[in-house]
A and B are shown apart, each in its own frame.
Chain A
Amino acid sequence: MDAACVRSWLGVVATRLEAERDFLTQLDAAIGDADHGINMHRGFTAVMARVGDIEEATPGQLLKAAGRTFVSTVGGAAGPLYGTAFLQAGEALGDAASFGPRLLLDALRASLEGVQRIGAASPGDKTMVDALSPALGAFELELRMGGSLETATSGAREAAAEGMRATIPLQARKGRASYLGPRSVGHQDPGATSTALMFAALEQAVLADRSHRFAAGARRRGSGA
């Protein structure tokens, strides 16, 4: 993956957030303060404007810019949490002009650690960690079993979605939803839902990148003959 692929991922996230904005807000209306969809959408609109202004940047720089923008445009808990996730991922990628699945794994791990350090949430607390943590686990397992970037991101997407659905029967132990106690049971966590959306977008961006490369390769082979 290179900077163009990271831009494409951020773009897919923004598009999906636009489509899911009302759904996320509805989820949040049940157990939160009904602003998650609005906040995520506003944050990502600002992120897209910011990365659009940056002409030359490494993947790490793009993610750090995204994190800083998110922090300063999103007032709810999503601001510092996703902000940290992006900042830490960007930090982990360092100055690399492109990265493979190993470095992406490091970035995902740094994101999870950052989110847990800031939010002090554990798996099972009914938060974004319930999607992020299994996604990281599935990504790593797939790589250990010799999988590719494509199969690993696909496994991560699936695990994140599963983790997201698994938040429904949980009682919230973090955030505003925890004030509701047992009344938080039976609702899907909005943060886990937006995290699952990001992994779905990652898979889409990785697959698009692959078919793009394949087409470019075919053109080169065609003209180089």
Chain B
Amino acid sequence: MSVGLVVVSHSAKVAEGVVELAAQMAGGVRIQAAGGTDDGGIGTDATMIAEAITAADEGDGVLVLVDLGSAVLSAQLAIDELVEEETRGRVRIAEAPVVEGAVVAAIQAGTGSSLDEVDQAARGAATMVKVKDG
């Protein structure tokens, strides 16, 4: 068992691409994409996010990575109103950039870490140094 991940983006392609990338880094972790609206447009859909959370949950918790704006609102709504009460307590939105956060979180989750540890790892991706002295 491991912590599951959900990647939320305004674009279905971005969400699927991030899932593809993160899954490549860590096998055996449930990573679900919830991007775009249900008619294929740009936007976010709380119902779709709630379903992804349920699908990603193995019982150890779910970390949700979001891009911005309504992605945050829709994810919050999905957690507060739409997922089962039992799941609700073990779902968290990451304070992290969506691509880097998902990759780091997937690797951490793959080691069997707790939700706290996976969340912390994703958070660290926000201050990841990419160009020395940059």
Determine the chain B residues whose CB is within 8 A of the CB of A75 once the complex forms. 10, 36-37, 41-45, 70
Determine the chain B residues whose CB is within 8 A of the CB of A81 once the complex forms. 73
Q: Could you tell me how many residues of chain A have their Cβ less than 8 Å away from some Cβ of chain B?
A: 19
Number of inter-chain CB pairs below 8 Å:
59
Q: Could you tell me how many residues of chain B have their Cβ less than 8 Å away from some Cβ of chain A?
A: 21
Asked if A71 CB lies within 8 Å of chain B CBs, one says yes
Q: A72-B46, A75-B44 are in contact. Are A119 and B73 (CB under 8 A)?
A: yes
Q: A72-B38, A84-B81 are in contact. Are A77 and B46 (CB under 8 A)?
A: no
Interface centre among B36, B73, B76, B82 (most CB of A within 10 A): B73
CA of A119 to CA of B69, assembled, Å: 9
CA of A84 to CA of B70, assembled, Å: 13
**A77 & B47 in contact (Cβ 8 Å cutoff):** no
Interface centre among A76, A81, A176 (most CB of B within 10 A): A76
Among candidates B10, B38, B46, residue contacting A83 with C-beta atoms closer than 8 Å: B46
**B81 & A79 in contact (Cβ 8 Å cutoff):** no
Asked if B84 CB lies within 8 Å of chain A CBs, one says no
Quote the shortest CB–CB distance from B73 to chain A (angstroms): 4
Determine the chain B residues whose CB is within 8 A of the CB of A83 once the complex forms. 46, 77
One digit per residue, 1 when the CB lies within 8 angstroms of any chain B CB and 0 when it does not, for chain A 163-192 equals 000000000000110000000000000000
**A80 & B38 in contact (Cβ 8 Å cutoff):** no
Asked if B74 CB lies within 8 Å of chain A CBs, one says yes
Determine the chain B residues whose CB is within 8 A of the CB of A72 once the complex forms. 38, 45-48
Interface centre among B47, B74, B80 (most CB of A within 10 A): B74
Taking CB atoms and an 8 Å cut-off, the chain B residues in 23-74 that contact chain A are 36-38, 41-48, 69-70, 73-74
Among candidates B36, B41, B47, B69, residue contacting A71 with C-beta atoms closer than 8 Å: B47
Quote the shortest CB–CB distance from B44 to chain A (angstroms): 6
Q: Which of A's residues lie within 8 Å of B, judged by CB?
A: 68, 71-72, 74-77, 79-81, 83-84, 87, 114, 117-119, 175-176
